[in-house]
Amino acid sequence: MLRLPPFTLHQPTTLAEAVALLAQYAPDVRVISGGTDLVPNLKLAQTKVGHLVSAKFLEKLHGITRTDTHLRIGAATGLHALAQDGDVQDVLPALAYAASRIASPQIRNMGTLGGNISLDTRCRYINQSELWREALGGCLKSHGTECHVVPGGQGCVAALSADTVPSLIAYGAIAEMVSDQGVRRAPVAELFQQDGTWHVRIAREEILVAVEIPIPSPQTRVAYRKWAVRQSIDFPLVSVAVRLDVDGAVLAGGSIVVGALGPRPRVLTLERLAGRPLDEALAQALGQMAWDRARPLPNIPYDAEYRRERMVIEIRRAVRVLVGLPEKPLVTKT
């Protein structure tokens, strides 16, 4: 049985009230929305905090609105609602798919987009009971001084495990934060830093309010691929979004965004491949590019070398689907 440690819960009904509370109690405060990441982390004493500010009753954080140019998704929009939304499925299918692959039906009913973006990093040495962690002498993220993933490492390399982040970056999403100092906007791509103990650059005084995503042109195609052991519940072991901007029958640009490496997603731009035809060779080239420049670490389950190969496979499959080839090449009988 896991009990929550005592804390003070605030349930503001206006954004002004919420940011005043955050300013008053920072840094000993967190925003709680669905609670599906924060509550277990509090129970396991991975996170320790005196005050929680609930986003549940903040109307401005809920709902999806579509303009001619953008989709605006409130940070407290549920993951199931996001995956099922007609506008999101219509213009941001990779994001709808990514949301549909998170955890389980129950967790998608509770969890929110803002919570997924803010999802704490994961590592086989941190997602354990406090007793287990202490027995190992702790680690950089858990009252210790040693990293068990990278011997001698000085920075925590726990893995960003948010399924929505790679496709949000591929779509060019902008995050909007509010504090008592006003509104701040930043591309989701610039929201993460190489520090697994605190990888999301959202200050304790700030609350993530919404994400704005430009509606892609018909020349832009995005796919998200997740590999995990089971069809549900699991966090991604390989997490990739591929964006291809096409011009007729050739590539004009795009990006590969890889999650589930270290604390920060890896973004590879494809401009130097402009002019390449949309074929199997392109799928192979993008896979090789990721193999060269994105390296999974032994921080989450499954062998890192295997996940590196698997990442290449998922990228090839994403490219094939986006250019209209069969996802898995036919095996010919000899």
Nearest distance, CB of residue 36 and another protein, angstroms:
5
- Tell me the two tokens of residue 124: 């086989």
Strands 174-179 and 64-66: unpaired
Give the range of 1-9, 91-99, 135-143, 167-175 binding another protein by CB under 8 A: 1-9
- Partner residues linked to 91 by β-bridges: none
Which among 238, 198, 244, 242 has a CA at the least distance from the CA of 220? 244
Nearest distance, CB of residue 127 and another protein, angstroms:
10
User: Distance between CA atoms of 148 and 139, rounded to whole angstroms?
Assistant: 7
User: Distance between CA atoms of 142 and 145, rounded to whole angstroms?
Assistant: 9
Return the number of the residue (40 or 172) whose C-beta is nearest another protein.
40
| Residue 13 contacts another protein per CB under 8 A | no
Nearest distance, CB of residue 34 and another protein, angstroms:
8
Return the number of the residue (7 or 291) whose C-beta is nearest another protein.
7
Nearest distance, CB of residue 10 and another protein, angstroms:
9
Nearest distance, CB of residue 18 and another protein, angstroms:
15
| Residue 232 contacts another protein per CB under 8 A | yes
Which among 158, 34, 196, 177 has a CA at the least distance from the CA of 107? 34
The SS3 assignment for 277 reads strand
* Type of residue at 70: H
Return the number of the residue (109 or 288) whose C-beta is nearest another protein.
109
Would you say 143 and 156 are in contact if contact means Cβ atoms under 8 Å apart?
no
* Type of residue at 290: A
Nearest distance, CB of residue 110 and another protein, angstroms:
5
- Total residues binding another protein (CB under 8 A): 31
| Residue 11 contacts another protein per CB under 8 A | yes
Return the number of the residue (158 or 244) whose C-beta is nearest another protein.
158
Nearest distance, CB of residue 320 and another protein, angstroms:
24
Token pair 């919420």 is found at 18
DSSP state of 58: -
User: Distance between CA atoms of 7 and 141, rounded to whole angstroms?
Assistant: 21
Nearest distance, CB of residue 233 and another protein, angstroms:
6
> What does the per-residue mask of binding to another protein show for 76-115, with x meaning CB under 8 A?
----x----------------------xxxxx-xx-----
Return the number of the residue (18 or 294) whose C-beta is nearest another protein.
18
| Residue 14 contacts another protein per CB under 8 A | no
Class of residue 289 by CB neighbours under 10 A (exposed 0-12, middle 13-18, buried 19+) = middle
Q: Measured in Å, how far apart are the chain's first and last C-alpha atoms?
A: 57
Return the number of the residue (232 or 288) whose C-beta is nearest another protein.
232
Return the number of the residue (170 or 228) whose C-beta is nearest another protein.
228
Nearest distance, CB of residue 248 and another protein, angstroms:
38
User: Distance between CA atoms of 164 and 239, rounded to whole angstroms?
Assistant: 9
Contacts (CB under 8 A) with another protein, residues 26-55: 32, 34-36, 39-40, 43-44, 54
DSSP state of 143: B
Return the number of the residue (51 or 60) whose C-beta is nearest another protein.
51
CA 97 and chain centroid, separation: 13
Sheet containing strand 51-54, edge to edge, reads 8-10, 51-54, 29-32
Return the number of the residue (129 or 219) whose C-beta is nearest another protein.
129
Q: For binding to another protein (CB under 8 A), which residues are involved?
A: 1-9, 11, 32, 34-36, 39-40, 43-44, 54, 56, 80, 103-107, 109-110, 231-233
